[in-house]
Amino acid sequence: MISKSIKATIICSLVLFASCNEDTKKTSEKAMNDNILLQEWTGPYNGVPAFDKMSIESIKPAMVEAMELNLEEIEAIANNPEAATFQNTIVAMESAGKALNRVYTYYGIMGSNVSSPEFRAIQSELAPKISDFRSQISQNEKLFRRIKTVYESSQKTPLEPQKQRVVDLTYKQFEMNGANLNADQKKRYAEINKELSTLYTDFANNVLHDEENYITYLDENQLGGLANGFIKSAAKIAKDKGEDGKYAITNTRSSIDPFLTYSTERELRKQVWENYYSRGDNADEYDNNDIIAEILKLRKERVGLMGYDNYAEWRLQDRMAKTPKNAMDLMLKVWPAATARVKEEVADMQTVANELGNNITIEPWDYRFYAEKVRKKKYDLDSDEVKQYLQLDKLTDAMFFVAGELFNYKFTPVAEGTVPVFHEDVKVWEVTDKDSGKNIGLWYLDPYAREGKRSGAWATTYRSSDTFEGEKNVLASNNSNFVKPAPGEAVLVSWDDATTFFHEFGHALHFFSADVKYPTLNGGVRDYTEFQSQLLERWLSTDQVINKYLVHYKTGEPIPAALVEKIKKASTFNQGFGTTEYLASALIDMKLHLADPTDIDIDKFERETLDELGMPKELPMRHRTPQFGHVFSGEGYATAYYGYMWADVLTSDASEAFREAEGGFYDKEVADKLVKYLFAPRNAMDPADSYRMFRGRDAKIDALMRDRGFAVPKS
């Protein structure tokens, strides 16, 4: 049921926003007071989200009201009788939408961290409404004319750098979203976006359904090879799900990775592997193949309205790669070396299997299991032994240490109950400058997997930093899916998971260190924003972190130097697997969007394309197409999954700048340049210019190939 206040605002919007009377404005103000999700944040640290008071019932009316309030603001800007200027058009737009931003914070948490069937139903209902709202702004002709006036003026008389950047980005965003189309084209453009919004929501919810409902339960005699801590966690999860006495392997990466690595039960490994890699591909009502085909058709039709041959051509024009060809060229330079390494890895694994008398041929569900045995044989390195020194709490402290050394930040735990959280697992730290004590912001950590939480790891902001209306502190979060330990047990993670933990913290540091004037500049170029976080991964293996924070979870003894040496010697181990499974997904992403989607059979396209590429049969794509949420639950990474590789070229090259410095990875001069040129600007300057200012030249692929133990291609 729609509240009177929302009805009043909708009626007002349909007539003419500028004619809203005082009674209607008062009604809107009352709605702001009644719905906690719309209200300004109060409390400590310049105000924080009221996560403890948010409810599913509040989200729909809050979202509808916030969108209408934002449209009122936009209409006021568009209908301003004064000539368009930077101040009354661009700055006014930057200032608009505060209530909606607050609601989106709650909406994002409900969708990603604490989802439920009830919320998903509301999400499906809201998706087309949100699409309509966005179209009303992107297709507002009066607004775009004002933006275009400011843009064209700035081309004749350039503004100061950050002003010019925000004008350029705003104009480009509207242009890319169909602002120059005619009326009929705009109508179809909006219809397509509306259809896509529903498909994206359905895709994501289908994957979440399969993650929640495909659980493998083990008996006590099926636990061979599994670590004691993992067994206890699996027992607790099973008990929580009403299966006391059994052991649950959930359908998420954090659960399946250790199982596939250590379980001696080959048939169960196959079952767990198939459950995971068939998410969204089970020929039932939650199957995503038809949804993907429809998404591809609609994307191609939409960009065709603007004269583009394919979606990739449209999408990459404002990325560092610029063209699909440039992105493909990079990937195909690395692909042969990666797949060649896979052949070597499989041969090594087959040899071990034969030596053990196992009459098998290596299959995808064997890869992790036998790779671990090869690791032990080649490097005398046991991943489970390494895990004993990788405690989540200590890794958190290590990240704080790195942030202190590079960014001069101090992290102090916030007393429980001081700041509202959306789940009891969430912990909060205050971030301050070590010298001045100035508050930088708050860091929220939501570390554990649970029902209703999407898989993977990610970072987000609840409040970003900008200065055009006064300084703001940052509220940022990191979210992981570590298996929650049994009471009293330490959280031990793999080296890969520890690397990912550092990676996501890199995103948070990118948020905290932003030095931009306007909100738009807090965005990023997709094939560049992963660079900063990938770079931070490198500090996990620095001596300062290893010697101080990698201590045994029982004895407290530092990790032995001999074990560290083994880790470093094995640094390029299994790079064939890691690089190939990633590149396969990135290549499929690009090729799907370059292909003709008419009558496309997604399973067949994936299979045939991988065959043409020479994909090794012993491993899968990192994200098979029916579960590729990066690309099909929204558009953020569509034709942009290659961006991790593009960013890794920068990462490897930048790492060598630290290795070459006198102080290594903690060299003060290089660290200052890191913060000044690579982190603080966000999107306030062209990424290529930022990198050149840091490095003194463009990045080269050579360092990436060296890092992965591949042959450096000849120029």
- Residue spans of the domains in the chain: they are 4-112+140-180, 214-277
Nearest Cα to 204, choosing from 122, 123, 118, 268? 123
What is 93-162 written as a DSSP string? HHH--HHHHHHHHHHHHHHHTS--HHHHHHHHHHHHHHHHHHHHHHT-HHHHHHHHHHHHHHHHS---HH
Confidence of residue 10 (pLDDT cuts 50, 70, 90): very low
CA distances to 675, 685, 688 from 670, rounded to whole Å, are 9, 20, 18
Tell me the C-alpha distance between 46 and 515, whole Å: 18
In the predicted model, what is the mean pLDDT of residues 128-132?
95
Is the pLDDT at 715 greater than 70? The verdict is no
Number of helical H runs and strand E runs in the chain: 29, 7
The beta strands (E) that lie in 366-438 are given as 409-413, 427-433
**How confident is the prediction for the chain on average, in pLDDT?**
93
What is 548-574 written as a DSSP string? HH-B-TTT-PBPPHHHHHHHHHTTTTT
Going by the DSSP 8-state scheme, the letter that residue 637 receives in this structure is T
Yes or no: say if 77 and 96 are a contact pair by the CB < 8 Å rule: yes
Is CATH 1.10.10.60 what the domain over 4-112+140-180 is classified as, yes or no? Answer: no
Confidence (pLDDT) at 524:
84
Q: Which residues contact 95 (CB under 8 A, 6 or more apart)?
A: 468, 469
Is the pLDDT at 314 greater than 80? The verdict is yes
Give the Cβ contact number of residue 346 at 10 Å.
Answer: 23
What is 222-266 written as a DSSP string? G-TT--HHHHHHHHHHHHHTT-TTSEEE-SSHHHHHHHHHH---H
Is the pLDDT at 25 greater than 50? The verdict is no
Residue 163: phi and psi, rounded to 5, are -65, -45
- Percentage of residues of the chain with pLDDT beyond 70: 95
pLDDT tens column, 612-656:
999 999 999 999 999 999 999 999 899 999 999 999 999 999 999
Is the pLDDT at 31 greater than 60? The verdict is no
Tell me the C-alpha distance between 559 and 631, whole Å: 40
Nearest Cα to 84, choosing from 171, 143, 164? 143
Nearest Cα to 305, choosing from 413, 404, 415, 182? 182
Considering Cα of 40, then 46, then 49, then 53, what sign does the dihedral take? negative
Nearest Cα to 66, choosing from 112, 14, 129? 129
Yes or no: say if 538 and 406 are a contact pair by the CB < 8 Å rule: no
Yes or no: say if 200 and 632 are a contact pair by the CB < 8 Å rule: yes
The Cα diameter of the chain in Å comes to: 84
Confidence of residue 32 (pLDDT cuts 50, 70, 90): low
Nearest Cα to 234, choosing from 269, 225, 223, 393? 223
Going by the DSSP 8-state scheme, the letter that residue 310 receives in this structure is S
Confidence (pLDDT) at 713:
74
Considering Cα of 62, then 65, then 68, then 72, what sign does the dihedral take? negative
- Identify the residue with better confidence: 26 or 521: 521
Yes or no: say if 351 and 343 are a contact pair by the CB < 8 Å rule: no
Confidence of residue 4 (pLDDT cuts 50, 70, 90): very low
Tell me the C-alpha distance between 116 and 605, whole Å: 33
Q: How far is CA 482 from the centre of its chain?
A: 16
Stated pTM of the model:
0.86
Yes or no: say if 218 and 249 are a contact pair by the CB < 8 Å rule: yes
Residue 177: phi and psi, rounded to 5, are -100, 25
Tell me the C-alpha distance between 185 and 207, whole Å: 33
- The region that residue 456 occupies, defined by phi over 0 for left and psi between -120 and 50 for alpha, beta otherwise, is left
Give me Rg for the CA atoms of the chain: 26
pLDDT tens column, 43-55:
999 999 999 999 9
Nearest Cα to 445, choosing from 113, 53, 107? 113
